[in-house]
Amino acid sequence: MGTPFFHHLYDSLAQQVGGTFWLAPISLTSLPFLCYFVTTLRFHYVLWANSRRTSHKIIPIAPYWFPFLYHAIPMALYPAPFISGLTKKYGISQPFGLRVGFMKMTLIADPDHVQQVMKNARTFTNKPLTLFVLDKLLAAPKTLIARYASDDSGLATKPRVGSSVLLDDRIYYFQIRTTHKYLAGVHLHALNDRYPLTLGRHLDNLSISPEAWTSFPDLYRFLQLKISPASVETVFGSKLLDLHPSFMEDFWTFEVNSSRFLRGTPSWLAPGPYRARKNLIETLKSWQAHAAAHFDCTRTGPSEPEWEPNFGAKLIRTRQADMNKMAGMDPDARATEHLGLLFGLNASALPPIFWFVYHAFKDPVLLQKLRKEVADSTSPEGRLDMAKLVAQPLAQSVYAEVLRLYVAITINRHAEVGSIHFSGYEVKEGGMVMMYSRIGAMNTFAWEQAGRELAVTKAPLESFCAERFLDEQEVFSMDGLSGIWLPFGGGDRMCPGRYFAKAEMLATFALFVERFEVEILEEGGEYTGPDMGSAPFGALPPGGKVPFRIRRRGEVKG
């Protein structure tokens, strides 16, 4: 059958389904099947046509059941299984066009396509996603949302040609510049050194003795309330939690319900989470006022301390100073900005910390090997050397494997200036590209094509394997995994906090293993694996409670 036949058949059926009332009424029950048949036919025709081209390829629209709604229902109700299902059914070698109402996006899964897109990241933004999160998750003031929507100045030091945004109002640029500067170099080292000292103090204050085991019903909840305060104190200072002891309770009520906010659950169906979010905003406003009355946030020069108790790290002081200069940035808007950073700091870090601790203490052989690496990274005086720890091969492999298996995010890029080109395809200006981190992470073919056959043969990608990222010489390696291992995104917008997150995860485990013995008691719990209902919105918590018991390992080192 030649091309004219396909054109004729496709055009005929498309015209028929395009008019809802063609020739005779179509019943509501038959319309979805006819729609799916026609869109499937069109999808395969485009694939066939693209196979004969090297350029000017057409992005095939994935089949759908309902006209006008397109893919809105599966993207709203079960986005992660729907996206993964497309690649399992049709492979990863071609992109997929998706439509949610009037919004058009392109899903790419081929690692080579992902790399090509990331290399041109300077022309992209994630503005639509940012506006969505500000509105749905953070309940940002309309004035703040409008500020983000109108900022067309880009991320470069020099604003884009034609932009009229004032220098002090370049909110995207200041965010990126500040986080990249203060989560790297000497500032990162200061955070990495402070976190284990802060966490160590918190752990020393726990009422856990070496004489007897203490049982807890849920390891994840324990880490939420005992570990995350140290992270908040390290970055935001000690006064926030000193002044508001219930802050972490409200935060985790808000965080565990994040997917409900993002899906648009109304407040009358989730009064507790909405109340917790309101409490957080009011608390952050109160904290800002107190901090401003006791410390000048513009004191960020080289001679100023890297950390002080009111505003915490220089990162927070600089953000506060930048926001104070922006027109119309009122206390509610500033509190929203801080809540967004807190969400990224804790929601993205805690589930991986849990999985690291869980797998290490569940496997005695792995635990023994990791204990040795921690011992090798600890000075004779008992001080943890973070530079040595983050370079340990097995610890790095466990870290990378935890993120591979338990992070499920979509990485979105908006073609705000110019089109996006990759492998003969084009996403026109105004379009969106979406990548789902779990596709490459779980695709055996992609790993084999990347030359990582050993990593796949060690264990199926669906399971945890502590040594997956070690080569034959037991050296940690990420070679060939660009476009496959994407827990932090990619390109210019790769998560700037990834280095601190790594140090935080490894330091938490190191201090735990140094101070405590832990036994996982899964037989008495509800654990069913990761909570895939949290995908594709970030790191995956456990799907149920994991009971455990803990006791202190004798005398605590300094």
- pLDDT at position 420, please? 87
Please tell me whether 495 is known to bind a ligand: yes
What pLDDT, on a 0 to 100 scale, did the predictor assign at position 220? 94
Residue 62 clears pLDDT 80, i.e. is over it: yes
Distance in angstroms (rounded) separating the CA atoms of residues 382 and 415: 51
CA distances 146 to 45, 57, 127, 449, 542, Å, are: 42, 36, 11, 44, 37
The most confident of the ranges 289-293, 340-344, 408-412 is 289-293
Tokens 């990608």 correspond to: 461
> CA geometry: angle at 405 spanning 77 and 540, to 5°?
45
Q: Tell me which residue of 199, 257, 206, 184 sits closest to 232, measured CA to CA.
A: 199
Q: Residues of the chain with pLDDT > 90: what percent?
A: 71
Task: Report residue 23 as tokens.
Answer: 């020739």
Q: Is the pLDDT of residue 34 over 70?
A: yes
Instruction: Give residue 41's pLDDT band: very low, low, confident or very high (50, 70, 90).
Output: very high
Residue 293 has pLDDT above 70, yes or no: yes
Q: 105, 434 in Cβ contact below 8 A? A: yes
Distance CA 372, CA 512 (A): 14
Which whole number is the average pLDDT over 530-535? 88
| Stated length of the chain | 558
Is pLDDT above 70 for 27? no
Beta bridge partners, 216, equal 548
Which residues, listed in sequence order, are joined to residue 550 by a DSSP beta bridge?
214, 518
Would you call 405 exposed, middle or buried from its count of C-beta atoms within 10 A (0-12, 13-18, 19+)?
Answer: buried
pLDDT beyond 60 at 555? no
The kind and range of the H/E element at 242 are: helix 239-243
For residue 524, what pLDDT is reported? 57
Query: Using CA atoms, how far apart are residues 279 and 286, in angstroms rounded to an integer?
Result: 11
pLDDT of residue 124: 75
The distance in angstroms from the start CA to the end CA of the chain is: 78
Average pLDDT for residues 13-31, to the nearest whole number? 52
Distance between CA 238 and CA 230 in Å, rounded?
9
Return the half-sphere exposure (C-beta side, CA atoms, 13 A cut-off) of residue 169: 17
Query: With 60 as the cut, is the pLDDT of residue 21 above it?
Result: no
Can you give the pLDDT at residue 346?
87
When pLDDT is averaged across residues 394-407 and rounded to a whole number, the result is 97
pLDDT band at 527 (very low <50, low <70, confident <90, very high): low
pLDDT classification of 264: cutoffs 50, 70, 90:
confident
Average pLDDT over residues 509-528: 84
Is 18's pLDDT higher than 70? Answer: no
- The answer to whether residue 8 scores a pLDDT higher than 80 is no
Mean pLDDT of 398-420: 91
Given a cut of 80, is residue 2 above it in pLDDT?
no
Flag whether pLDDT at 16 surpasses 60: no
| 339-360 exposure pattern, b = at least 16 Cβ within 10 A, e = fewer | bbbbbbbbbbbbbbbbbbbbbb
Res 138: pLDDT: 95
Residue in 165, 199, 56 with CA at minimum distance from that of residue 513: 199
Asked if residue 238 has pLDDT above 60, the reply is yes
The one-letter amino acid at 230: A
The DSSP symbol for 244 reads -
pLDDT in the model for residue 121? 62
Q: Are residues 468 and 453 in contact, defined by beta-carbon separation less than 8 angstroms? A: no
Q: What is the predicted pLDDT for the residue at 10? A: 43
- List every span in the chain annotated with CATH 1.10.630.10: 172-552
Q: The tokens 């990863």 sit on which residue?
A: 92
Within 13 Å, how many C-alpha atoms sit on residue 164's CB side? 1
Q: What is residue 20's predicted lDDT score, i.e. its pLDDT?
A: 43
What secondary structure letter does DSSP report for 557?
P
Residues above pLDDT 70, as percent of the chain: 93
Backbone angles phi, psi at 358, to 5 degrees: -60, -55
Q: Please, which pLDDT band fits residue 1 given cuts at 50, 70 and 90? A: very low
Query: What pLDDT, on a 0 to 100 scale, did the predictor assign at position 301?
Result: 93
Average pLDDT, the chain: 89
How far, in Å, CA of 237 to CA of 235, rounded? 6
Burial class (CB in 10 A: 0-12, 13-18, 19+), 278: middle
Rounded distance, CA 211 to CA 209, Å?
Answer: 5
> What per-residue confidence (pLDDT) applies to 122?
65
pLDDT, mean of residues 210-228 = 92
Q: Answer whether residue 267 shows pLDDT above 90.
A: yes
H-assigned helices in 390-495:
393-406, 437-441, 444-449, 453-458
In this predicted structure, the answer to whether residue 19 has a pLDDT above a threshold of 90 is no
Predicted confidence (pLDDT) per residue in 463-516, tens digit: 999 999 999 999 999 999 999 999 998 776 788 889 999 999 999 999 999 999
The pLDDT assigned to 22 comes to: 44
User: What's the confidence (pLDDT) of residue 9?
Assistant: 43
Beta bridge partners of 435: 411
CB 153 within 8 A of CB 159: yes
**Residue pLDDT, tens place only, 414-429:** 888 888 889 999 999 8
Q: Which fold has domain 172-552?
A: Cytochrome p450 (1.10.630)
